[in-house]
């Protein structure tokens, strides 16, 4: 039986490329969607030669929400799995000074991903099958002074994915929420990250593939982050206000 493709939204990112390679290695054709998609030609060729699957490139701008309906309609095949890796951390200090920078972070982490997943959800629902994967962040579990603009957008996206999963649960469509902690990527380059809490993109990709296969609802990665964020969420507010974490 011919496999339907896996669509990677934000395929130019480190995690996006790792996810694409992972699914391609499992024998899935892959659709790579990103801004300046032509820059992924080398990755396309590598995956085709290495894994023997079809790989297509698709121009995609998460913030151009008015194009999302046409983007999905023009795909050569409606995917069986869509993984949204779109995101932008930005700099908290800049976000506090420049509302335009803050809005870009919020739109990149919530509005754009929610828009494209809504379009895909409607198509998957009409077909009666499929899996949607949204990569949110543990940063959305509680607003913290060091990254609350980014965290607030991720909190919204996490809530969106939860509601979408609830809506589609009886429609044959599954929704997976992925909550990574620190991941060693270009986005976190230069940050002093604790090695034992920091994952590699390939580890996250493996976890996503397992979550799709096992029809998991919510996964933390690394799993220790579930406990860490449980503790942080339960710090009393009077104490929390005195902390900077």
pLDDT at 43: 97
Of the candidates 88, 195, 100, which has an alpha carbon nearest to the alpha carbon of residue 137? 88
CA atoms within 13 A on the CB side of 124: 29
pLDDT digits over 47-85, tens only? Answer: 999 999 999 999 999 999 999 999 999 999 999 999 999
Write the pLDDT tens digit of every residue in 172-210: 999 999 999 999 887 776 677 788 899 999 999 999 999
Q: Would you list the DSSP string of 84-123? A: E-------HHHHHH-HHHHHHHHIIIIIHHHHHHHHHHHH
| Adjacent-strand bridge partners of 6 | 30, 81
Partners of 26 in the β-ladder: none
Upper half-sphere CA count for residue 181 (Cβ side, 13 Å): 17
Lowest-confidence segment of 33-42, 103-112, 140-149, 178-187 by average pLDDT: 178-187
Q: What are the residue ranges spanned by the domains of the chain? A: 6-240
Which pTM was predicted? 0.95
Alpha helices in 128-191 (DSSP H): 148-168
pLDDT tens digits along 20-33: 999 999 999 999 99
Q: Is the pLDDT of residue 2 over 80?
A: no
Considering the segment(s) 6-240 as one domain, its CATH architecture is 3-Layer(aba) Sandwich (3.40)
Query: What amino acid positions are annotated as catalytic residues?
Result: 150
User: What's the confidence (pLDDT) of residue 190?
Assistant: 67
The whole-number pLDDT of residue 184 equals: 87
């Amino acid at each position: 039986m011919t496999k339907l493709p896996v669509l990677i939204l934000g395929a130019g990112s480190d995690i996006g490329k790792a996810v694409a390679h992972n699914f391609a290695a499992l024998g899935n054709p892959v659709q790579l969607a990103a801004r300046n998609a032509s820059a992924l030609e080398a990755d396309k060729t590598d995956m085709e030669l290495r894994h023997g699957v079809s790989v297509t490139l698709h121009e995609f701008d998460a913030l151009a929400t008015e194009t999302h309906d046409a983007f999905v309609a023009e795909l050569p095949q409606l995917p069986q799995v869509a993984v949204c890796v779109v995101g932008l951390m930005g700099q908290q200090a800049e976000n506090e000074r420049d509302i335009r920078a803050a809005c870009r972070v919020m739109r990149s982490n919530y509005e754009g991903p929610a828009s494209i997943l809504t379009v895909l959800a409607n198509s998957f629902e009409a077909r009666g099958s499929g899996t949607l994967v949204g990569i949110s962040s543990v940063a959305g579990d509680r607003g913290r002074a060091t990254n609350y603009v980014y965290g607030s957008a991720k909190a919204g996206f996490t809530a969106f994915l939860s509601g979408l999963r609830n809506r589609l649960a009886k429609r044959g469509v599954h929704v997976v929420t992925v909550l990574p902690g620190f991941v060693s990527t270009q986005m976190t380059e230069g940050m002093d990250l604790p090695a034992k809490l920091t994952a590699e993109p390939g580890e996250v990709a493996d976890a996503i593939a397992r979550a799709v296969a096992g029809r998991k609802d919510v996964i933390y990665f690394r799993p220790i982050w579930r406990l860490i964020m449980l503790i942080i969420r339960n710090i009393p507010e009077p104490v929390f206000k005195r902390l900077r974490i």
